[in-house]
Amino acid sequence: MSFIKQISDYDWETIKSFIYNKTAKDVENALGKQRPTVDDFMAMISPAAEPYLEQMAILSRKYTLQRYGNTIQFYVPLYLTNSCVNYCVYCGFNKNNDIKRIILTEEQIMQEVKAIKQMGDFQHILLVTGENSRGAGVDYIENVIRLIKPYFSSISIEVQPLKEKEYKQLTNAGLNAVYCYQETYNKTRYKIYHPKGIKSKFDWRLDGFDRMGKAGIHKIGLGVLIGLEDWRTDVTMMAFHLQYLQKTYWQTKYSISFPRIRPHKGEGFGPNVIMTDKELAQIIFAYRIFNHDIEIALSTREDVMFRDNMLTLGITSLSAGSKTSPGGYAVYRNKLEQFSVNDSRSPTDVAQVVKEKGYEVVWKDWDLSLQ
């Protein structure tokens, strides 16, 4: 079983035209349902839903409070390497870019961990790598998980898609969650953004989610990169994917996010599509109304005002104090970043804003703290 077979039933242009033909009546129908379908989801993210944003925000807030209470989970990324065999046109770690390549040693990783712990009481850490199976493959990642396990209650990864047995290997070492971005579900245009390297293989990447499910990963995170293709069609394809995964691997928890392309080193790739703050809010509300249980994360790619405004309206997870380069916290002090962050406040400052809004910061992984 794999989503690769199912995705061939969803023609990109047909889905797009469904979305753009939705009417105000379709939106009202969708908002009146307790459990909207993907067809209803299309109505909620369509241009026809723009006048209903306030009503959507109220519903999104209500469902988030019912499921998560007034809490926000904090996590911090730790970049282990910027070495990468891929050529993604939108990324500062693209193999073509003439930058210093680093793979952190055990000693350097512990320096980073110490600096992270000095910033805040983080218990949930996200390990990030470029894709370099030779230099930073599964054994390297396993070793890092074992090394830092005593200091964190929840360890997630955002690395190259792995084999099923490799996901199992990392789970046995203490891995809790895997985040992977398909970037775009438009298979025809995928290769334009991922011209060479293992990441150019659309099916291998897409099938990775099934491999995670089969390996029994506790939580799987999905996402599309906003700025490549029509975002309404991409997030709908992701809704189909999410629905398939939840049905097939029902014991797994799920998380989503919608990173927007940020400035980075290398030859300029400007976004093909610009998504406004209002539109990003619309997707977040629509996803929450569509799926009451899903974790929705917002990273420091987004600016202070947007993050603060969205705190109580649907998101459940925030990164804070993030450095997007290997050694960024202590060893190299953010000289080699993947992209520039938009919210550079300290975790303490962000936590203060969360408190002022009447919410509580959860430093460890939400799902794990419920077990």
Cα–chain center distance at 72: 16
Out of 93, 202, 249, 329, the only residue in the binding site for ligand SF4 (CB under 6 A) is: 93
The Cα–Cα gap between 3 and 198 comes to: 19
Per DSSP, 173 falls in state: H
Min dist CB 355 to ligand SF4, Å, is: 34
The Cα–Cα gap between 358 and 26 comes to: 35
Residue 214 corresponds to which amino acid?
K
Of 90-98, 168-176, 271-279, 322-330, the segment contacting ligand SF4 by CB under 6 A is 90-98
Out of 112, 131, 229, 365, the only residue in the binding site for ligand SF4 (CB under 6 A) is: 131
Q: Which residues contact 246 (CB under 8 A, 6 or more apart)?
A: 252, 254
Contact status: 36 vs ligand SF4 (CB under 6 A): no
Min dist CB 323 to ligand SF4, Å, is: 15
Out of 60, 94, 182, 252, the only residue in the binding site for ligand SF4 (CB under 6 A) is: 94
Other beta carbons within 10 Å of 106: 11
Count residues contacting ligand SF4 (CB under 6 A)? 9
Out of 7, 42, 49, 84, the only residue in the binding site for ligand SF4 (CB under 6 A) is: 84
Contact status: 88 vs ligand SF4 (CB under 6 A): yes
Residue 170 corresponds to which amino acid?
L
For ligand SF4, the closer CB: 44 or 88:
88
Short-list 357, 273, 362, CA closest to 310: 357
Instruction: Count how many residues are written for the chain.
Output: 371
Other beta carbons within 10 Å of 289: 24
Of 55-63, 84-92, 162-170, 325-333, the segment contacting ligand SF4 by CB under 6 A is 84-92
* Residues at the interface with ligand SF4 (CB under 6 A): 84, 86, 88, 91, 93-94, 130-131, 199
